Structure 1
Amino acid sequence: MADLQQQLHGERMFFGPFCLSPSERLLTRNGEPVEIGGRSFDLLVVLTEQPGRVLSKRELLKRVWSDVVVEDGSLRFHMAGLRKLLGDGTDGARYIATQVGVGYAFVAPVERHGAAIRPAPDDEARPGASSINVPARLPHLIGRERDVTFLVERVADTPLFTIVGAGGVGKTSLAIEAGHRLAGTFEGRVAFVDFSMLENPAVVPSMIAGAMGIAVQSEDPLAVILGHIRDRPFLLLLDNCEHVVEPVAGIVERIIEEAPGARVLATSREPLRVRAEHVLRLDALDYPEEPAALTPEQLLTYSAVQLFCERATAADSSLVIDEDAARLIADMCRRLGGMALPIELAAVRAATHGIAATARQLGERFSLGWSGRRTARPRQQTLQATLDWSYDLLTEKERIVLERLSVLVGPFSIDAALEVVADAEIGSDDVAAALDELAFKSLVAPDRSRRTGTYRLLEMTRAYAREKLLARREGESGAVARRHAAFFLAELEAVAEQDEDVLQDTRPLRQQLGNIRSALDWSFGRDGDLRIAVRLAAASAPVFLNLSHLIECRTWCARALAEIEEVQRGTAIELELQAALGISLMFTRGNSEAAGNALARALEIATLLDDRWNQLRLLGCLHIFHERIGEYAAAMGHAERAVQVAEAIGAPEAMGIAYSFSGISHHLAGDQKRARRELELSLRKSPPSARSRTIHYGFDHRNRSGIALARTLWLAGHADEAGRLARQIVREAAQLDHAVTHCIALIWSLSVYLWMEDYAAAEQDLAAFTECAEVNALGPYIAAAAGFRGELAIQRGQTGDALGAVEESLSRLRAARYELLTTPFSIALARGLVADSRTDEALDLVDATLARCDANGERFAVPELLRLKARIVRFTPSAEDASTLLDQALTLSREQGARAWELKAAADLAALR
């Protein structure tokens, strides 16, 4: 009993007026302690540990009297005393049922509170395991202990294990149990991916990333996944892979090749057939071949019989399983071939109509020959027959409701069920009543784990019901699909009407992705409704952006814009589609012309609609777009217009956003005095950073203001203050869980530390920047990381390979139309060329950079370029005088308020003279 007390540490169990606390060895009735003997207390603990399950006399004696040898009489004596103490049988109270010749079962409903059952020491997870993304394990996994032990021993040393078996055999439950037990081995890094909700194979990588909690902001979700797990242990549980086996196989093979610490445990009806795959073929539960030759105690040792009894007594706590019933149950398990799902369905039916009646019906509807085969197809036939049998027992209304529910993917609410199922034929009250019956009969599963009041259909039940729906009269499935799409369109549009903070919690959104995708697929399909499709794509765009499913967002928005009707052009619908398309293109495909055109069109619509907040949002996106491609004059124009729009709005948040654009533009244009004023104003007006606001605007403008101010402060001569602010802003960016914002903060903090020659801080931020860029597959930032690495080496006097690294980085950035870093990298390259005695090349590079800055309005670095040129011309035959160039640098630095550049130029001029 000590082991059980340890497992139940901190847990309390409530039944009737009683509360049982095993760790305190306390039983109370209505809050008052109850005097109970030690053996009786232990007996009660064992019974309530598995309510509804019949425990044999032998098992009870072994568990409660493990230290002495006793006879059955002692068990009967204590059981009688325990029943009397509980008031069993008084005023209809029922706690303990006797199964004649078998044993005893605790039959009252039990609620558990406090700490969950702790795993045994060898299962216990290390710190952090409690946060694993794995569904709740079953309280008691019957008949799979050997399989669980096998997986726990082998998975950690095997790149890929696939649990293969027929539908309904118990693959998912086994994988979940193994995941919980292995959590400690993988330091809590375990993620469960349920592909049964997925209908589009192209979304497999994004779905894996979502289950891992990874925000994907690039074209290649798999690269982001690999970036997160390449150098650390991680366990992926991939469930229901059979209908997406090809994309899953390709992804798993990449993970095996490139992430040596990662392990994959998959479930499928067929092997993935990739290198290094180990297969565990999951057979049916054990069942007796000749039940008549065994005693009731022997029958209960078979896992199939145990499962039937547990499910049946759970469905009806008053159900009595005597010797005759035990034999009938064992025979039904044999006929069902030990398959878990058909057994559970039969058990629930037995609880309703009796064991003998269920056995007769089972014999009428199942071929006895099916149960003995071991290949997949006959087992599918057994499952099909089980569902046929359950379906035949439903009323006509229940059948129609079940069929129509099949259009719902994953968890669904009662509201969704009513809206999708009800029509002129079946009213809402009928739907609600039928849903209760279907849940009772285990054809619809209530999701009690999250206490959300949601339901779901098991995968095989949904597929079965879907076929029945398609076979009904013409137009039936289309009408249901239309109501399904209309419901989720209304839900998404209602969310859009609320504050963007509604999108802060991504869990409810992620649960409905399957329904959103299904609705989009139907709406754009052959028999769909394009008007609904276009609205649905616009309404779902914020969800895809919020969950970082940028490729999906881009795909649906582009498809909707290609199908949009003339009456929808120039409306808020087209605005949202164009804006989302522009943002997703900019993140996934770089600063392309298509991204700029989409954002410009969205701004045009917002202006026509006099939608000032969306004007401000889109001016921000366009400001950043033109800044990134080096069109600083255009960016300045957007910033000036944003200030006008913000003043018209009059809200502090609007002013904070607009002056962020303006301050950054003036900083890049070289007016550091005005930049400082406007950036400080922006920070005063801006609300605290929030991920939902960052997603809405595409960027975190408060964060950008802060890091730009750090650069401005350094240029103004306040180096210590600049360094402190840079560190603060980088910390805040990291907390947003938004890779692009984090990278932007790190890019500009790196420039501050390199200017300060604080190489230790630069090394630290460069490592963080490199990891963030590579993990999230952000192409331009990966190229920038190599450039920063070269610049740091050059500043330390280590040219060598650094020159080639900076040159290659510049080439890649220009190819991606990312010009924001080309000036500082050109300065670094020129310095390296001078150090390498390649002064002519250095002079040509500086002249070209000065010409580009003069043409595009990027003036902040011109004083430093003039100072660098003055140093170069002293070693080359040039018509220009170094002293003149330094005088120009001094004058321009003072005009800009760039005290740091001024001091450097003055020092060089003094040395020259």
Structure 2
Amino acid sequence: MAATPSVIRTPDQQIRVFVSSTLRELADERRAVQQAIERLRLAPVMSNLGAHPHSPAELSRSYLAQSDIFVGIYADSYGDVAADGTTSAIEDEYDRAPPTMPKLIYIKESDGRDDRLERLIDRIQIDNTASYLPFTDTDELVGRVLTDLATLLAERFDETRPEAGDDAVESAPPVPQLPVAFTKTVGREEDVSRVRQLLARDDNHVVTLVGPGGIGKSRLAVEVAAASEDMFPDGIYFVALEGVQEPGLLLPTIAYFFGVRDNGEVALEERISHALEDRRVLIVLDDFEQIVEAAPAIVQLYTAAPHARFLVTSRIVLRIRGEQVYEVESLRLPGDTGPLNPDRARASSAVALFVDRAQAVKPDFTLTTENVAAVVDICKRLEGLPLAIELAAAQVRLLTPRYIAQRLDHSLSVLTVANRDMPIRHRTMRTTIEWSVSLLSQEQRTLLEDLGVFATRFTLDAVEAIGRGRPWDGRAIDALSELVDDSLVKPIEVEGRSTFSLLSIMREYAVDRLKARGEIDELRAAHADYYADLVRRVAPGLRGAGQVDAVRQIGWELSNLRAAVRHLMDGNRLDDVAELAWTLFVYWWISGFLSEVRLWMLELLEKHQPISQRTRAVAEFFAMWSELWQHPSNEVVAGLGESARLFAESGDEDAAAIALAGRATARLQFPDFDAEAVALELNEALATFRKVDDRWSESMAEVGLGWVDVVGGHLDGALAHFSRSAEIADEGHDPYTRAVAGNNRTRVLFLTGQVEAAEQEWFLTLRLSIRLHYEEGVAFALDGLAAIAATRGDAWRAGAFSQVAASARRRTGILDVEGLAVQRAPLAALRERDPQGLAAGERAGAAMALTEAVAVALPDAEPSVKEAMALW
């Protein structure tokens, strides 16, 4: 007789949930939990699921060894103990569950529990690898199980989060909610408390932290935001404006940090207002002084969303309604009365900061009776300015406090005289920088000043590119390392990508020095040339299999691309501006920056400088794009037609066809549009796209033709066009066009009763949208899966998915367009049949993060999807 196998295999590869309980006593609860597990598309593993050629104990242990999650349900009974054993099955199963296996325990309220079960529950309560919750009835149990399993599925995504340096990750550039502080904050506890109190007042829509550069406004804003999570349950967003130079870019920048895509279809202000509506959020706008003319836009936003609060850092007051100004003061200095000793000096926040930063570069540094006077002298001379103190403390690695104080004495006395027109604190900060720079070699000093041409962060490759012919040419990495050691340049590593950054006040100093040396134009030209070349190298990847990586790489460089456009614009290199903008057309579309490009093109046209015919075609096209969707008119049609003509005359057939397709799309927005004329133009553009092998545009043109048929009620024709669009995208391995085609195709499949095919398509578009960080696509897919669930009578999934999708739409300002909302009718019908079940799902969805909903929808997603989701 063959030996009994030690491992019992099951045919499926789903996530397995082992359910442990007594059988007869909890029969109803077991059935309900089994159905809940299956509702999440997981596999329930239960010892009473059919007959097997194994003993109950052997079967239980074998299935337990293969399971992923342990669920225990206990009531009154401990269960039977075998004749040759000392424990019941439920205790044996609990003991055999591996320590790494998540254990979810649910205990029914009882007044007459078995003593042995009480002892087991006592053990569970002190087991830090298990969670346990009480329940009173089956409905409450099912709700708890569904919520806990959904959370665990989301955590499975997090477990796949890649370590820094993993180059295989495919994702859009991350948008952190709050910057990570690499050093502790010293001496701002009282400020944090006061600013929190200001934010709590209903009449303070905007709190502005005002003070000179280096006073610590940004750091205080981060600390306030971190301490205010309880006040803003709907989120805290940190919007860095350091690299934003034009007031018109305020709204596009806020939109980017919120995940609001600007595809031109709706006014950006409307989408942001929709995203903020009824939400208690805190939006931190850092470094506002350079675009202070944009301040009225904040009033428009909080008027539309009165629960939103804005925390602004600026060197100047905004002077808008609803603003409360908070003056950020210097750190507290030691008093002039009483004996000077280390303990008394350390009680002042200025000295405490100096000591902390000095120990960061020289761990054995201590405040002693011998050096305390010099340290206090340094802090007083620097007037308690945090950044100035940090720069001085960084020199402790090489210099004594006494020598630093002496050098500062000389610098301040000499340099402040030359800057008497500056506020005293600005003079102090500038002279501290001057003093720090004076300690550098000429080569290091030149490099530091040259770095001022970059935006918020930059790579070593970029530095080397602008260094040709500079004094530090060929020594960029060594010179950068020395500046990092001197705390003048900050290294930043995210996901294995090494970048560098200057503080904004250091960049300001560097730019002033470049201007004084008469070399600013030369460096800006070199900077613009490098990033224009980078665009030419990366942009081809936007159409095809390399799309995710290309979008991510361009996103990383966005601040410097903006700076490059500004350098080109200021240098009247207008043809280069247009070429860069057109080369990145697909990126602007995918990432939602079309209104920003429109601002550049309007500025270009207003310069009235000589430009090529092609440049005028590009500028006219981008200037009309938003109007195409928001204000379609005969003027827009004519403008896009003129763009097509100019492209054609300049010899670019492909661009001319894109403009022609845009003109057809503008006609499609008219309430009484001529379907035949629109189709004729789209087909003419389509023929050109096929001729020049522009698969991206060919796929999008098929989507346009599909919509002509949708509006005309010809669903079979629409399905054919959307399917052709998807086929083209599949052939080109293009995830974005495939997601767009798929979301349109799936709606038609669902409306024509092809539910199974629609479900699989929505699963596909969900995975693609996750990889692209395309939240709009995720919301559409979850809406579709809600419609599928509602059709099948699965009330919990229907309610949960629809609620999460609705939250995503509100958060990112996506308008629920009537023709696209295929979930509405099935949900309304289900609400008539099962109002309680749907309401339970909606309650679960309201408490569910987007990642949790995706984990429920795709419990067995492939690694690339999990890795991308882990970065959301």
What is the TM-score when the length of structure 1 is the normalising length? Answer: 0.59
Give the counterpart of 1:483 among 526, 537, 548: 526
Would you say 1:706 and 2:753 are equivalent positions?
no
Q: Aligned-pair distance for 1:480?
A: 0.9
Provide the alpha-carbon RMSD of the alignment. 5.2
| Cα deviation digits, residues 305-328 of structure 1 (max 9, x gap) | 121112122112344643211221
| Cα deviation digits, residues 438-493 of structure 1 (max 9, x gap) | 222222222246653211221111111211111114xx211111101111111111
Q: Residues 622, 726 of structure 1: CA spacing in aligned structure 2 closer, same or farther, 3 A cutoff?
A: farther
Q: Residues 730, 592 of structure 1: CA spacing in aligned structure 2 closer, same or farther, 3 A cutoff?
A: farther
* Equivalences for residues 374-393 of structure 1 within 5 A: 377-393=423-439
Give the counterpart of 1:187 among 208, 230, 233: 233
* Equivalences for residues 817-828 of structure 1 within 5 A: none
**What corresponds to 1:136 in structure 2?**
180
Give the counterpart of 1:225 among 269, 272, 290: 272
In 2, distance between residues paired with 1:211 and 1:742? 17
Is 1:662–1:675's contact at 8 Å kept on the other side of the alignment? Answer: yes
Which amino acid in 1 is paired with 2:351? V
Q: Aligned-pair distance for 1:394?
A: 2.7
* Equivalences for residues 543-582 of structure 1 within 5 A: 543-557=587-601, 569=613, 580-581=622-623
Which amino acid in 2 is paired with 1:464? Y
* Equivalences for residues 366-405 of structure 1 within 5 A: 366-367=412-413, 377-405=423-451
**What corresponds to 2:358 in structure 1?**
312
**What corresponds to 1:167 in structure 2?**
213
Would you say 1:627 and 2:673 are equivalent positions?
no
* Equivalences for residues 837-876 of structure 1 within 5 A: none
Is 1:770–1:785's contact at 8 Å kept on the other side of the alignment? Answer: no
Q: Secondary structure at the match of 1:498?
A: helix
**What corresponds to 2:632 in structure 1?**
590
Q: Secondary structure at the match of 1:338?
A: coil
**What corresponds to 1:254 in structure 2?**
300
| Cα deviation digits, residues 18-56 of structure 1 (max 9, x gap) | xxxxxxxxxxxxxxxxxxxxxxxxxxxxxxxxxxxxxxx
In 2, distance between residues paired with 1:567 and 1:163? 44
| Cα deviation digits, residues 377-423 of structure 1 (max 9, x gap) | 21111112212222333332223222221111111111222222x23
| Cα deviation digits, residues 264-285 of structure 1 (max 9, x gap) | 2222223333334333322211
Give the counterpart of 2:455 among 392, 409, 430: 409
Is 2:354–2:389's contact at 8 Å kept on the other side of the alignment? Answer: yes
Give the counterpart of 2:262 among 200, 216, 219: 216
Q: Secondary structure at the match of 2:181?
A: coil
Q: Residues 772, 601 of structure 1: CA spacing in aligned structure 2 closer, same or farther, 3 A cutoff?
A: farther
What is the percent sequence identity of the aligned residues? 23
Give the counterpart of 1:455 among 500, 521, 527: 500
Is 1:660–1:702's contact at 8 Å kept on the other side of the alignment? Answer: no
Is 1:300–1:306's contact at 8 Å kept on the other side of the alignment? Answer: yes
**What corresponds to 2:281 in structure 1?**
234
Is 2:238–2:285's contact at 8 Å kept on the other side of the alignment? Answer: yes
Is 1:134–1:191's contact at 8 Å kept on the other side of the alignment? Answer: yes
| Cα deviation digits, residues 338-371 of structure 1 (max 9, x gap) | 1111111111123222222112111222259999
Q: Aligned-pair distance for 1:332?
A: 1.2
Would you say 1:149 and 2:193 are equivalent positions?
yes
Q: Residues 241, 512 of structure 1: CA spacing in aligned structure 2 closer, same or farther, 3 A cutoff?
A: same
Residues 346-355 or 494-503, more deviating? 494-503
In 1, distance between residues paired with 2:756 and 2:499? 53
Would you say 1:243 and 2:290 are equivalent positions?
yes
**What corresponds to 2:378 in structure 1?**
332
Unaligned 5+ runs, structure 1: 1-113, 116-129, 753-760, 794-913
**What corresponds to 1:355 in structure 2?**
401
Is 1:773–1:782's contact at 8 Å kept on the other side of the alignment? Answer: no
Which amino acid in 2 is paired with 1:272? L
Is 1:581–1:598's contact at 8 Å kept on the other side of the alignment? Answer: no
Q: Aligned-pair distance for 1:235?
A: 0.5
Q: Aligned-pair distance for 1:723?
A: 9.6
Unaligned 5+ runs, structure 2: 1-159, 162-173, 789-796, 829-872
Q: Aligned-pair distance for 1:237?
A: 1.0
Q: Residues 564, 720 of structure 1: CA spacing in aligned structure 2 closer, same or farther, 3 A cutoff?
A: same
Which amino acid in 1 is paired with 2:389? I
In 1, distance between residues paired with 2:749 and 2:220? 55
In 1, distance between residues paired with 2:698 and 2:293? 51
In 1, distance between residues paired with 2:765 and 2:475? 57
Q: Aligned-pair distance for 1:650?
A: 8.9
In 1, distance between residues paired with 2:690 and 2:291? 53
| Structure with the higher fraction of residues in helix conformation | 1
Q: Aligned-pair distance for 1:329?
A: 0.8
Would you say 1:322 and 2:368 are equivalent positions?
yes
Q: Aligned-pair distance for 1:652?
A: 9.4
Which amino acid in 1 is paired with 2:327? R
Q: Secondary structure at the match of 1:271?
A: coil
Q: Secondary structure at the match of 1:429?
A: coil
Give the counterpart of 2:464 among 411, 414, 418: 418
In 2, distance between residues paired with 1:587 and 1:469? 44
Q: Residues 370, 506 of structure 1: CA spacing in aligned structure 2 closer, same or farther, 3 A cutoff?
A: same
Q: Aligned-pair distance for 1:703?
A: 2.8
**What corresponds to 1:62 in structure 2?**
none
Q: Secondary structure at the match of 1:406?
A: helix
Would you say 1:687 and 2:721 are equivalent positions?
no
Which amino acid in 1 is paired with 2:669? R
**What corresponds to 1:196 in structure 2?**
242
In 1, distance between residues paired with 2:294 and 2:572? 27
Q: Aligned-pair distance for 1:495?
A: 1.4
Q: Residues 469, 272 of structure 1: CA spacing in aligned structure 2 closer, same or farther, 3 A cutoff?
A: same
Is 2:248–2:599's contact at 8 Å kept on the other side of the alignment? Answer: no
In 2, distance between residues paired with 1:519 and 1:377? 32
Larger radius of gyration: 1
**What corresponds to 2:831 in structure 1?**
none
Q: Residues 554, 205 of structure 1: CA spacing in aligned structure 2 closer, same or farther, 3 A cutoff?
A: same
* Equivalences for residues 77-116 of structure 1 within 5 A: none
| Cα deviation digits, residues 417-441 of structure 1 (max 9, x gap) | 2222x23342522444332222222
Q: Aligned-pair distance for 1:611?
A: 6.6
| Cα deviation digits, residues 509-560 of structure 1 (max 9, x gap) | 44533322222223222x4433433333333544443432222212334555
Aligned length: 645
**What corresponds to 2:562 in structure 1?**
517
Which amino acid in 2 is paired with 1:538? W
Is 1:192–1:236's contact at 8 Å kept on the other side of the alignment? Answer: yes
Q: Secondary structure at the match of 1:490?
A: helix
Q: Residues 719, 538 of structure 1: CA spacing in aligned structure 2 closer, same or farther, 3 A cutoff?
A: closer
In 2, distance between residues paired with 1:728 and 1:607? 44
Q: Residues 683, 406 of structure 1: CA spacing in aligned structure 2 closer, same or farther, 3 A cutoff?
A: closer
**What corresponds to 1:438 in structure 2?**
483
| Cα deviation digits, residues 94-118 of structure 1 (max 9, x gap) | xxxxxxxxxxxxxxxxxxxx99xxx
Q: Residues 194, 687 of structure 1: CA spacing in aligned structure 2 closer, same or farther, 3 A cutoff?
A: same
Which amino acid in 1 is paired with 2:430? Q
Q: Aligned-pair distance for 1:252?
A: 2.9
Is 1:680–1:709's contact at 8 Å kept on the other side of the alignment? Answer: no
Q: Residues 584, 739 of structure 1: CA spacing in aligned structure 2 closer, same or farther, 3 A cutoff?
A: farther
| Cα deviation digits, residues 716-772 of structure 1 (max 9, x gap) | xx59889989998998999787699899999999999xxxxxxxx999999999999
In 2, distance between residues paired with 1:509 and 1:568? 26
Q: Residues 566, 496 of structure 1: CA spacing in aligned structure 2 closer, same or farther, 3 A cutoff?
A: farther
Which amino acid in 2 is paired with 1:530? L
Q: Residues 640, 416 of structure 1: CA spacing in aligned structure 2 closer, same or farther, 3 A cutoff?
A: closer
Q: Aligned-pair distance for 1:192?
A: 0.7
